[in-house]
Amino acid sequence: MSQETMSRRNALKLGALGVTGAMLSASQAMAAAPTEKEVKFDEEYDVIVIGTGFSGLAAAAKAAERGYKVLILEKMGRVGGNSVINGGGMAVPNSTWQKKYGIEDSGEKFIADCLKAGLGINHVEMLQTIVKRSNDALEFALKCGAKFQDVKPAWFGGHSAPRTLVTENMSGSGIIQPMAAFVEKLPGCKILTRAKMDDFVMSSDGTSVLGVTARINYRFDKNLVSDDVENKSGEKKVYRAKKGVILASGGFAMDKIYRKMQDPRIAEDQDATNHDGATAGAMLKAFQIGAMPVHIDWIQQGPWASPDERGFGVAPLLTQQGLFVHGIAVDVRNGKRFMNEMADRKTRADAEYVILREAPKMFPVSFGTYNTFGEQIYPQVEKGIQTGVMKKFDTLDALAANYKIPADALKATVKKYNEDALAGKEDEFKKQTLKDLKAAPIDMKGPFYAIRLMPKPHHTMGGLKIDTSARVISANTNKPIPGLFAAGEVTGGTHGASRLGTVAVTDCLTFGLIAGETI
């Protein structure tokens, strides 16, 4: 069977299931979530948290520290969601790390950076809250046992100053694993994995959230087009939440139906950086009880991903903290740079898509030399070579030949870049690291390290509207829905059209803590 036939069949199946899913959602909306009169509660808790990523664990910990009995439901077989596989970077303006290394920064600069990346449609009060509480979020992560590299904060794309702390293992697991252990030791805290929330339980008048229906011993099936619609596994349970429910279920970048409905340019089989369970089901249930949606159709693409590995992989670490900072990215058709490698994510992804829509298989190439990488990245360099996502070449001619890049044009591009780097001046793309960091030039002696680039769906910008106290706002009343709170990627508005790299960890921890404090 040809690839084209397979693609057509998948498209037909997706379309049919999309209609089925829409019909199911409409039917459920008319039937409404069950009320307390229609169910019998199996167990009772003070607080129920949906999800075990940064925001869910932070919310659970804070609620438990206040003496509440907390149940945490995680639909996958392990804790962490996307948080456990992210790059471990946390942007913190005015941190002690910045002060230690003499870095000038401010909350105003941070907010300006976020607004620029977000095309000005961010809800500013949310950014102001992050600025106010980001150091609290950092202290909480440290209290739980997270360990960050004791080096100068990293400079990530779109930021006007180095403000990102990176975990010692360069992964979100460096925060999630100690947080999960911390939460499990707290009195009254219980984590259930393979436990999927199905719906909310409402008060008799339908205005307040009193609990959830769920399935335990549920098994996510990644082979289904829509696990949320098709999967019926598990045993039904009903849980009461006396104080409320905190939704921390994450984004929907792996939801083949919902992401395509929001952005038809995303193919049904397009790889994403997310874990398999990043679907829209829990968020849609909140919409059905009246939660206000914000920015749902803004889906961020990660410009540092590669077609040569599945999912998140190691390419984002090697590009964001190496090749993009001091190296360059070129259009393989002409050997020329085509973007500011340190711009915000949307700007870079859009630039890459200009090439890929003209020539779908002509993936841009980012490259540099060993001095391109910081010392903390060296172990990842070897890993990238071993996995095949990064290739090593002795000469620029060899690199050009491998990717079919015009060699003379490539050498001219590198020559100009090096001249700008040595002069410490702003280049034609206004790359800040050349001007402000006096970026290390590319060593013409080699060897050269290269990664092919392909944007992948990474962060879904939209979700539920919450206020600065993490209360979910009703679209019907423009007031908080009693008993419903949310934090993290399931919410919308904070980041506008596109999120700055490494701000998600800060956002999730900040509003997770606030949800646990408010409930």
Q: Which of the residues 133, 215, 345, 452 is marked catalytic?
A: 345
- Considering only CA atoms, which of 436, 163, 450, 456 is closest in space to residue 327? 450
Residues 62-85: what's their mean pLDDT?
98
Q: In degrees to the nearest 10, what's the CA dihedral of 233, 237, 242, 248?
A: -10
pLDDT surpassing 80 at residue 309 = yes
Q: To which residue do tokens 């030791």 refer?
A: 185
* All structural domains of the chain with their residue ranges: 3-82+175-300+461-518, 304-454
Q: Express each pLDDT in 380-418 by its tens digit.
A: 899 999 999 999 999 999 999 999 999 999 999 999 998
pLDDT confidence of residue 422: 82
Run of H or E residues at 89: strand 89-91
pLDDT surpassing 90 at residue 294 = yes
pLDDT surpassing 50 at residue 263 = yes
Q: To which residue do tokens 């008319």 refer?
A: 30
What is the rounded end-to-end Cα distance, in angstroms, of the chain? 55
Q: Are strands 89-91 and 299-302 parallel, antiparallel or unpaired?
A: unpaired
Q: CATH topology for 3-82+175-300+461-518?
A: FAD/NAD(P)-binding domain (3.50.50)
CA distance 85 to 449: 24
CA distance 383 to 368: 16
Length of the chain in residues, anyone? Answer: 519
Using an 8 Å Cβ cutoff, are 400 and 406 in contact?
yes
* Rg of the Cα atoms in the chain: 23
Residues 300-313: what's their mean pLDDT?
95
pLDDT confidence of residue 251: 98
pLDDT confidence of residue 323: 94
Q: Express each pLDDT in 216-248 by its tens digit.
A: 999 999 999 999 999 999 999 999 999 999 999
pLDDT surpassing 90 at residue 272 = yes
Quickly state the pLDDT bin for 12 (edges 50, 70, 90): very low
pLDDT surpassing 80 at residue 375 = no
Same fold, 3-82+175-300+461-518 and 304-454: no
Average pLDDT, the chain: 92
Q: CATH topology for 304-454?
A: Flavocytochrome C3; Chain A, domain 1 (3.90.700)
Tokens of 81: 């969601």
Run of H or E residues at 64: helix 54-65
At residue 272, φ and ψ (nearest 5 deg) are -135, 170
Which of the 8 DSSP states describes residue 389?
S
Instruction: Tell me the H-state helices in 145-226.
Output: 173-185
CA distance 153 to 136: 18
Using an 8 Å Cβ cutoff, are 353 and 338 in contact?
no
User: Count of CB atoms within 10 A of residue 96's CB?
Assistant: 12
Whether 78 is a known active-site residue: answer: no
Q: Express each pLDDT in 86-114 by its tens digit.
A: 999 999 999 999 999 999 999 999 999 99
pLDDT confidence of residue 436: 55
Q: Express each pLDDT in 153-195 by its tens digit.
A: 999 999 999 999 999 999 999 999 999 999 999 999 999 999 9
Residues 242-260: what's their mean pLDDT?
97
pLDDT surpassing 60 at residue 315 = yes
